[in-house]
Structure formats: C-alpha cells, structure tokens
Chains A and B, each alone.
Chain A
C-alpha cells in the first residue's frame, strides 16, 4: 500500500542536508507551508539556497530562517520590501547572497526543471540590468535572454486537501507557487490542511498528481492572517 503520510513535522522534514536548495511556496502568506519552515529551522540545516517569492517579511517563516543565518543564498523577486527587516540586517553585513529574478522567470525556471527542459530563451528582462552576464539572442526579431532550469533538492508545499498517494488540491489563491515547486524538486514535502480518502478527490480536480509528492503531514493551521495594509 502506498501511504505518503507521516505523523509529524519532524518526520516530514527529516534528512534535509546542509547546502540543499529548498523551494518554499506561498504568496503573501497564503499557501505558505509555515509548519514545515519552522520544522526546517528546528533541524538546524544550514548553508541553504532558498527560492521563495520574497526575502521574508516580519520575523517569522522565511524571514526567521534568514535571520538565524541558515541561508547562504536567497533567490527571489522581492528582496527589499516592506517588512524585510531581517533580510536587510543580514544583507547589510554581507551575510547572504542574493539572486533577483523577475517573478515569472523564477516560476518558469522551476517549471523547466520539472519538465526536463535545461534552459529557455525569454524576452523578459532583455535589455535591463537583470540581463547582465546572461547569454542574449535575437529570436524572430526580438531580443531574448537565456535562463536555466532551477531545480530544488527539496520543495516545501502547503495543500488544502491531500490523499495518501500525495494527490493535492489547493484553496483559492493558496495555489500560487505550490504546484510548480512540488514538481521541480527531488524531495517534495507537503503539509495539508485536510485529508481525503484515496479516490475521494475527483481526478479532474487534482492539481498536483501524487507522482511529484514524497511526504505528506496533516497540519490544520487554519486560515492565513487577514491583512490590514
């Protein structure tokens, strides 16, 4: 019997090596696998490359991982932004390497990794500072830059419902980076708000097929925080 469920966050997160590339999903705290991030901090893993939309906000989650000095390099589309205090402290003292990517290029680099495409040309960022040092080519009259696939050693994902094969569905805007990160990593670890029996999720509604998923832990963490910005 295939059963990807594990009983604890510690079990879910076990075995992440120092130096790993960790893809961490979530957007504006929606669909963000907070329990798994906390679990990763608990393991003490360090020298990590983290791929996440931002360099963290506030003092929790990815911000805390950076603040505790576990992240050698952050790959993100929003570095300095409102609330990125811990990143800015560490960055100011040269304690973290930064790779800034356009958000869509970041997503597409992971999709390429998931799909076995080693690199692709894109017009995004052509002719800008972000193209510096990147291979450029004019295709159909348009300047494009070469971007390489961005695979993860590990992906941390939050689902709304999961079954024991690791089939996943997401809730509303909680989908965001989750499916593309789940598919782009060697070891995909999921926290799910709800558990479905095998066969209960209608096949046409499954967003992430279980083939991409290695471990699932049931964490009822409730709604994301309401924003008052």
Chain B
C-alpha cells in the first residue's frame, strides 16, 4: 500500500487550524488505502478555500470556476467513463452559486464523487454567510443577522433520490476517510457533506460546537430506507448524525447511455469515412 505522503502536492496556504487540513489528510489516506494512483483520478474544484484542494494533492486537476465544478466533472465522466472523477466544492460554491447544477447532477446520476467542504461561511471572501449558515448569524454584511432558512443539503439530496448521501466531520479523519472510500467504491453520484470549522470567520460552528452535537449512526441503521433516511437528514441542532445516511442502486448515467455503455468515448476514434454516406441523406 502506498503511504498517504505520496499523494502530497503543494504546501497548503490555508489558515492554521483550518478544517480543510482534516479533509485533506482523510482524502490522502482514503486514496492510499484504495491504492488508486495519482494519475488514475481527477479532482475538479471550483473557487473558495476548497478550490485550492487539488493543488495540495498529487492528482490530475481541473480547478475551474466558482460553482461550476459539477458540469466540468460531468463532461469529463461522459468523455472518459474509466476515469475516477472527484468533485470538490465549498458550501457557497456548490449550494449557492452552483445550486442548479447540484440538482441536475443528482438527477443525472453520473458516477461523480462530490465532497463538499461545508464550513457554513464564506472564507475566501472573508466572512459572509453561506447557504448553510444558521439563521440569525451576524456578519459584516448582515448586521441584522441572516434571515434565510439554512439549506439542508442532505434532505435535498434524498428528496432527489441521490444515489449516495453521507455526512462526515473534518474533526474525525478516520471516520471521514472511511466515508470517502465508501463513496468512491459506490456506483452512483455520491454526496459527502463534510462539516468543517472555519477557525477565522465562523465563530459559531467551531470544533467544540460540532463535537458536542455529532453522533455516529448506529450499526443497525438502514441507509436504504428512503423515508427513515429523510427523517435522519432532518436532524440538526442538538444532535447531528454522521455516516452514510442514504444509498440506492440506480443505474449510472454512463451505463444508461448506449453510446458509452460498453466503451468510454475517448476510446472510440472518429471514423471520417462514414461522412460520404451521411452526405447522401441530403439528396
């Protein structure tokens, strides 16, 4: 088994103590344990502190635009369905700017692994509320506090019958690495929402705040019952469940599309000789 150090990229420019470090180390651990080599997977990221993630990992990288991680990931998967594609996004990135793409990526069920760094705040732009910020959170640009209801990404995903829905915590990298591995091994669009403290701008949802509330789903929990999974997804506040909350076995997009069901698009060279025949259709 390779060591997780073999997956190290550039030196992170995150704040000391940032929850992103836990996510990074869990991810490298998961890849080492799965023995997936750096050239065998591609990380697509957007903009925000999470967007820098692939630079800190040894991997193929498309660090694109804010919110547009999933369309790029979908394009890569459709072109090369042999490639493991991991989409990394933040809560503002994926649930705000890219919200529409999330809805439709879940519907499509392309075999993408989406790891959301959910710190309930905007870090890169220095402390504005995100879609998952708690109601009432006061920030510089929200002197009266946040009026909007907090977005519940897990309930949203289950409502859309997302193939794999899990929640991890950056403060428990062993559990998180396990969840990441499960997501990667699952055949279907997989969302892992990762609770991640922002030590600089989010003074509410701290390591301590999470530690007091999170609990692990009991071993007899059935993640394949959509209704009870939805109930679990609604839990927030005093008790916050961690683990695989929902899973189904819908066929993936890449298998449903007969053009790429057998062989990735990239391995199907263009046959220019057919054009002569096609031209006849215009007579």
Do A and B form a real pair? no
B interface residues with partner A (beta carbon < 8 Å): none
A interface residues with partner B (beta carbon < 8 Å): none
